[in-house]
Amino acid sequence: METIWLYTALPLVIVILSLKFFSTRHRNLPPSPVPALPVIGHLHLLKPPVHRIFSKISQKYGPIFSLQFGTRLVVVVSSRSLVEECFTKNDIVLANRPRLLIGKYLGYNYTNMVTSPYSDHWRNLRRLGSVEIFSAGRLNKFLSVRKDEIKRLVLKLAENSRHDFVKVEMKSRLAELSFNIIMRMVAGKRYFGEDEDYDEAKRFRGLIKEMVKSGGVSYPGDFMPVLRWMDYQNFEKNVAVVFEKMDAFLEGLIDEHRRNKNDNTMIDHLLSFQESQPEYYTDQIIKGIIMVMLTAGTDTSSVTIEWAFSLLLNHPEVLEKARAEIEAQVGSDRLIDEHDLSNLPYLHNIILETLRLYPAAPMLVPHESSADCKIGGYNIPRGTILLVNAWAIHRDPNVWDDPTSFKPERFEGVEVEPSKLMPFGMGRRSCPGSGLAQRVVGLTLGSLIQSFDWKRISEEEIDLAEGKGVTMPKVKPLEAVCKARSMVDKVV
Ligand code: HEM
């Protein structure tokens, strides 16, 4: 009997004591909120919107704290000075990404720009991105695509609103706009609205729905290897099936462009590189780039426009001021163009203020430490996942006056330091698509303000609650009423 006790309970006691010994205090880890539950640790805290939960924890435990997500140590930072420390002194060490399940599939086995570890491969991708995809020259090449899609949206909204105010649902229209812009830049395809190849468009839309439904971004097996090993609820199998279908679809697009060579889209451009360097520009790399454009470049922009519009409808005086600026700088004989954006500082400040209050990636994208380092005097062991609560910093009363109010004027004549406002992240892993995003958001918002009178659907303010989802969507999709202004018929 005693022997059994010795062989079963004693090792358990030893494990518990060692865990206690190596607890956060002994290892000088950032403080950790209790209780961490057995096996899952603090995973039970992850209820959306997560940035609000983390913000509450940081108010109690300070601007840096650690959590245990299953077997993974996670550190969350929520202050300006600590973020500066992360992305200046420790930028290289923290430039890795955790290997989450989503990266195996959507990230093409961790080889695309978002999910790749910090490596020569990632540096090559970023170089390719900054010269061949996101440079001003490349973006200008697709200016007509962006203008055409926005013009189509203006025409669609004007269809029934020339004589009276009509109710419009904005969320899906903006999502379709951003998908069409990206897919036309990438492959010359419109998958939403008229001019679409019906069957192909239907397949694409179905796949996007399936990808969203597969829930790959919030997979508990990422933190509990036993679940991944058992493939709990066939999770990985289901993600793999959806991914395979999307992969085949993208391969089809590449083959189509290989057959009908021209120089109009990103796929054509990348295929021309493939001809000279087939070993590097493989189909997998090209598909990885398309997948990045689709996953990182669509919702982020459309959600930002939706938030901006919601804020403007709750602040009609700001909307009026933006329109007055557009009228003074652009007039009403033509639609606003991308080259006008630099002459519209108030519109720019509205976008900054929207990204401050409602950043589409409120916790940025998870980073991982590739070596031991220190943040705020605490030890951060190699392999720690780092989350940055940009949302909390953007609303920190020590950083911003009257932080929860929508006041685009706060940016007038002010150069904002990156550690105060970081909707696109900071350091070497920051967003390479920020220039494209600012063009799409600026041009869409400006055109809609210029072309329509806008009102809320009732006296009630637009509900600004944040819902579930990686890109911080609104709980209630935006609806508004609009009436086309007389200039619309002249300009579109
Ligand atoms: C990464 C925000 C639009 C492509 C990121 C990150 C943020 C972000 C916060 C992570 C930074 C970090 O890890 O610290 C946004 C916002 C957007 C937007 C708020 C729109 C309003 C776009 C667009 C594209 C794009 C239009 C491309 C079409 C990427 C890529 C990365 C990234 C490829 C990964 C960079 C890397 O890991 O090296 N973005 N983004 N984003 N974004 Fe964006």
| Ligand 1 atom nearest 438 alpha carbon | 21
Question: Is 431 labelled a binding residue?
Answer: yes
Confidence band for 25, pLDDT divided at 50, 70 and 90 = low
Residue 21 contacts by C-beta under 8 Å, 6 or more apart in sequence? none
Q: From ligand 1's centre to the CA of 108, what distance in Å?
A: 17
User: Which comes out higher in pLDDT, residue 415 or 15?
Assistant: 415
- Both structure tokens of 461: 């303010």
Q: For the ranges 24-38, 189-203, 236-250, 266-280, which has the lowest average pLDDT? A: 24-38
Instruction: Please check the confidence at residue 491 and state whether its pLDDT lies above 80.
Output: no
Q: Which residue owns the Cα nearest ligand 1 atom 38?
A: 429
Beta sheet of 452-455, edge-to-edge order: 166-169, 479-484, 452-455
- Over residues 136-154, the pLDDT tens digits come to 999 999 999 999 999 999 9
Which ligand 1 atom is at minimum distance from the Cα of 298?
26
Query: CA dist 131 to 68, 379, 430, 458, 462, Å?
Result: 40, 38, 16, 47, 41
φ, ψ of residue 474 in degrees (nearest 5): -75, 150
pLDDT number for residue 217: 66
- What's the 11 CA to ligand 1 centre distance in angstroms? 47
The stretch 244-267 carries a mean pLDDT of 93
433 alpha carbon – ligand 1 mean position (Å): 6
Whether ipTM > 0.85 holds is yes
Q: Is the pLDDT of residue 15 over 50?
A: no
Task: Say if ligand 1 is within 6 A of residue 363 CB.
Answer: no
Tell how far CA 144 is from the center of its chain: 25
Spacing, Cα 355 to ligand 1 middle (Å): 13
Task: Indicate if the pLDDT at residue 465 is higher than 90.
Answer: yes
436 lines ligand 1 (CB under 6 A): yes
CB 219 within 8 A of CB 235: yes
| Whether residue 17 has pLDDT greater than 70 | no
pLDDT reported for residue 13: 40
| Residue 19 predicted with pLDDT over 80 | no
Q: Is the peptide bond before 403 cis (omega within 30 degrees of 0)?
A: no
Measured in Å, residue 292 CA sits from the centre of ligand 1 at 9
Please list the residues that pair with 474 across neighbouring strands.
466
Mean residue pLDDT of the chain comes to: 92
Q: Is the pLDDT of residue 8 over 60?
A: no
Find all residues with CB under 8 Å of 310, minimum gap 6, and list them: 462, 464, 474, 478
User: What pLDDT sits at residue 262?
Assistant: 77
Nearest CA, atom 25, ligand 1: 433
Of 23-37, 312-326, 394-408, give the lowest mean pLDDT range. Answer: 23-37
Does the Cβ of 365 fall within 6 Å of ligand 1? yes
Using CA atoms, how far apart are residues 381 and 49, in angstroms rounded to an integer?
Answer: 27
Query: In this predicted structure, what is the pLDDT of residue 387?
Result: 98
Q: Read off the pLDDT of each residue in 217-239 and give the average, rounded to a whole number.
A: 87
Query: Amino acid letter at 109?
Result: N
Q: Is 113 in the pocket of ligand 1 (CB under 6 A)?
A: yes
pLDDT of residue 26: 60
Q: Is the CB of 360 under 6 A from ligand 1?
A: yes
Q: Are 206 and 200 in contact (CB under 8 A)?
A: no
Local structure of 359: helix, strand or coil: coil
Question: In a 3-state reduction of DSSP, which class is residue 68?
Answer: strand
Q: In this structure, which residue's CA is closest to atom 5 in ligand 1?
A: 431
Residue 292 near ligand 1, beta carbon < 6 Å? yes
Whether the predicted pLDDT of 105 surpasses 50:
yes
- Looking from the CA of residue 390, the nearest atom of ligand 1 is 9
Contact in structure between 243 and 105 (CB atoms under 8 Å): yes
Over residues 334-340, the mean pLDDT reads 96
Q: Residue 426 CA: which ligand 1 atom is closest?
A: 14
Q: Are 201 and 191 contacting, i.e. CB atoms less than 8 angstroms apart?
A: yes
